[in-house]
Amino acid sequence: MPKTTFIPKRPAHRAFRGKTMEQAPKPAEAPKPKNRTMALAIIIIAILVVVGVGVYFLTRPNPSPTPTGPQVTVKDDGLCGSSDMSCLFTPASINATVNGAAVTWKNTGTISHTVTTCDSTNGQTSTECPNGTDATGLDSFSLTVAGGASVTHVFAKAGTYYYYCSIHPFTMHGQVIAS
Ligand SMILES: [Cu+2]
C-alpha cells in the first residue's frame, strides 16, 4: 500500500519540472532577429534614398538655364494680320559671337512663329527678306517657337544673317550679326 502512494508523486514532480523548462526565458531572444531585420531594412532604405537623391541631382536636366547669350524677344498680339506691326522680333538686330553663346529667341506671345534664315530662295527684296539675304555658305535653319517657348542657335560662321517668320513674313523680320 505505501508503494502505491509513492508512485503518483514522481510524475507530478516531472510535470512541474517540465513546466519550469517551458517557462524558461526563451522569448527574450526572439525579438533580436526582428530588430536586426528592421535595422537592416532602415539602412537599405536610407542607402536607396541617398543613392536616389544623388542620381536625381546628377542626371536631372539643367532647369531651364538663364540664357547668358544675346536674346531676342518675339512678340505678338495673338492675331498677326498682314499689316499687324505688333508682331515682331525685338531688337530687330543683334550681335552674336561665332561658336560662342547661343542666341535665344523667346516667344512672349501666344501663337507660334518661326526664325527662318533668308537664303538664295528668298528674293533680295522679297516680303520675307526686305533687308537682304544671307551670303552663300552661312548657317541655314528654320526654328519654330511656340507661344511662351524659346529656341536657340549657336552661329558657326561669321556674317550677317537675315531672318523672318515664315508664318507672318509681312511684318516679322530680324537680323543677327555674327562675328
Ligand atoms: Cu510669326
CA dihedral 124, 129, 135, 139 (to 10 degrees): -150
Split into its structural domains, the chain has a count of: 2
Are 79 and 144 in a shared domain?
yes
Successive 10-residue mean pLDDT values, the chain, 179 residues: 49 48 54 78 78 68 71 96 94 98 98 94 82 91 97 97 96 97
The DSSP 8-state label assigned to residue 121 in this structure reads T
CB 118 within 8 A of CB 160: no
Residue 66 lies in a domain: no
Asked whether residue 53 falls in the same domain as residue 137, the answer is: no
Q: What's the CA-to-centroid distance between 2 and ligand 1, angstroms? A: 120
Q: Which residues, by Cβ under 5 Å, contact ligand 1, an ion?
A: 113, 165, 167-168, 172
Distance 56 CA to ligand 1 centre (A): 38
User: What was the pLDDT predicted at 12?
Assistant: 46
In this structure, the answer to whether residues 91 and 130 fall within a common structural domain is yes
Question: What pLDDT score does 47 carry?
Answer: 74
**Rg (alpha carbons) of the chain, rounded to whole number:** 40
In a domain, 65, yes or no: no
Distance CA 176, CA 154 (A): 11
* Structural domain range at position 52: 2-59
* Within-domain flag for 81: yes
CA of 11 to the centre of ligand 1 (A): 104
Q: What are phi and psi of 142, to 5 degrees?
A: -140, 110
SS3 50: helix
